[in-house]
Structure 1
Amino acid sequence: MTTLEHYDQVRQKSLQLCQNLITEDYSLQASEEVSPPKWHLAHTTWFFEQFILINYDPDYVVLHPQFNFLFNSYYNTHGSRTARNQRGLMTRPSVDEVRAYRAYVDQAMRNLIKKSNDEVEQLVILGCNHEQQHQELLITDLKYSMWFNPLDIKLMDLNEFKPTSTSSWIEIEEGLYDIGFRGDGFCFDNELPAHKVYLHRFQIASELVSCEEYLEFMESGGYENPIYWHDEGWAWAKELEIKAPLYWEKRDGVWTHYTLNGRKLVNMQSTLAHISFYEAAAFAQWKGCRLPTEFEWEASSRKFDWGERWEWTNSAYLPYPGFEIAPGALGEYNGKFMINQMVLRGASVATSAGHSRATYRNFFHPKYRWQFTGIRLAKTSSL
Structure 2
Amino acid sequence: MLDAMTHAVPSPSAAGARLQPVQDLAARLFATRALTPDLCAGLAPEDMTPQSMPDASPAKWHLAHTTWFFEQFALKPFVADYREFNAGFAALFNSYYVSAGPRYARPQRGLVTRPTVAEVLRYRAHVDTHLRHLLGRGEPGRDLARVLELGLHHEQQHQELLLTDMLHLLSHNPLKPAWRQLPTPQKRAAPALRFVAGPEGAHAIGHCGEGFHFDNEAPRHTVWLAPHAVANRLVSNAEYAAFVRDGGYRNPLLWLSDGWATAQREGWRAPLYWSEDGASAFTLGGELELDPAAPVCHVSHYEADAFARWAGARLPTEAEWEAFAAAQPRAGNMLEAGWFRPVAAAADASQCFGDVWEWTGSAYLPYPGYRAQPGALGEYNGKFMSGQMVLRGGSCVTPPGHVRASYRNFFYPHQRWQFMGLRLAKDMP
Q: TM-score range by the shorter chain?
A: over 0.9
Flag the 1:174–1:157 CA change in 2: closer, same or farther, 3 A. farther
Aligned to 1:285: 309
Q: Does 1:40 align with 2:87?
A: no
Post-superposition offset of 1:173: 3.4
CA drift at 1:161: 7.8
108, 119, 137: which one aligns with 1:97 = 119
Match of 1:51 among 55, 63, 73: 73
SS in 2 for 1:367: coil
Partner of 2:173: 149
CA distances 1:300-319 after superposition (whole Å, capped 9, x unpaired) = 11253312210000000000
Q: Does 1:179 align with 2:225?
A: no
- 1:170-205, CA deviations, whole angstroms, 9 ceiling, x for partnerless residues? 012312111000011210000010111110110100
Q: After alignment, is 259-268 or 31-40 more displaced?
A: 259-268
Counterpart position of 1:369? 416
Name structure 2 gaps, 5 residues minimum: 1-22, 329-349
Q: Deviations along 1:39-77, whole A, 9 cap, x unmatched?
A: 000000000000010000112111111101110000001
Which of 340, 345, 349 is the matching residue for 2:392? 345
Letter of the structure 2 residue corresponding to residue 87 of structure 1: R
The amino acid that maps onto 1:175 is G
Deviations 1:240-298 (A, max 9, x none): 11000000112xx5522101011012111211100000000000000110000000000
Retained in 1: the 8 A contact 2:199–2:323? no
Match of 1:14 in 2: 36
Residue among 105, 108, 114 paired with 2:130: 108
Number of residue equivalences:
380
How far apart, CA to CA, are the structure 2 residues paired with 1:168 and 1:297? 15
CA contact (8 A) 1:294 1:345 kept: yes
Equivalent residue, structure 2, for 1:131: 155
Q: Which residue identity lines up with residue 267 of structure 2 in the other structure?
A: E
Q: Which of residues 305, 308, 327 in structure 1 aligns to 2:374?
A: 327
1:310 equivalenced with 2:357 (yes/no): yes
Cα offset, 1:160, TM superposition? 9.6
The Cα of 1:379 is off from its aligned counterpart by 0.3
Question: 2:98 & 2:363 partners in 1: Cα distance?
Answer: 24
Q: Distance in 2 between matches of 1:139 and 1:51?
A: 25
In 2 relative to 1, CA 345–120 (structure 1 residues): closer, same or farther, beyond 3 Å?
A: same
Matched, 1:234 2:260: yes
- CA distance in 1 between counterparts of 2:81 and 2:26 reads 20
Question: Is 2:102 the partner of 1:80?
Answer: yes
Residue 25 of structure 1, aligned match among 14, 30, 47: 47
TM-score normalised per structure 1: 0.97
- Alpha-carbon RMSD: 1.4
Contact 1:277 1:366 in 2 (8 A): yes
Moved over 3 A (4+): 157-164
1:82-117 CA distances to partner (integer Å, 9 max, x unpaired)? 111100100000111000000000000011122222
| Contact 1:254/1:265 (8 A) holds in 2 | no
2:425 to 373, 378, 383: 378
Q: Secondary structure at the match of 1:281?
A: helix
In structure 2, do the counterparts of structure 1 residues 305 and 257 end up closer, same or farther at CA, with 3 Å as the change threshold?
A: closer
Q: Percent identity?
A: 48
Give 2:92's match in structure 1, choosing from 63, 66, 70: 70
Pick closer, same or farther for the CA change 1:191–1:157 going to 2, 3 Å.
farther
Give the corresponding residue for 1:165: 191
Q: Distance in 2 between matches of 1:12 and 1:321?
A: 38
Q: Give the equivalent residue in structure 1 for 2:292.
A: 268
Cα distance in structure 2, aligned partners of 1:351 and 1:190: 19
What is the identity, as a one-letter code, of the residue corresponding to 1:137?
L
Q: Deviation at 1:159? A: 6.3
Contact 2:388-2:410 at 8 Å conserved across structures:
yes
Cα distance in 2 for partners of 1:88, 1:152 equals: 20
Pair 1:57–1:158, CA change in 2 (3 A) = farther
Residue 209 in structure 1 maps to residue 231 in structure 2: no
Q: How does the TM-score come out when normalised to structure 2?
A: 0.86
Task: Give 3-state SS (helix, strand or coil) of 1:313's partner.
Answer: strand
Q: Conserved in 2, the CA contact under 8 Å of 1:169 and 1:204?
A: yes
- How far did 1:28 drift? 1.9
Q: Which residue number in structure 2 is paired with residue 118 of structure 1?
A: 142
Counterpart amino acid of 2:351?
Answer: D
The 3-state SS of whatever aligns with 1:295 is helix
Rounded Cα–Cα distance in structure 1 between residues aligned with 2:372 and 2:119: 35
Which sits farther off after the overlay, 112-121 or 75-84? 112-121
For 1:7 and 1:28, locate their aligned partners in 2 and report how far apart those are by CA, in whole Å.
Answer: 28
Q: Is the 8 A contact 1:246 1:274 kept in 2?
A: yes
SS at match of 1:30: coil
What corresponds to 2:339 in structure 1? none
Q: 1:159 to 1:32 in 2, by over 3 A?
A: farther
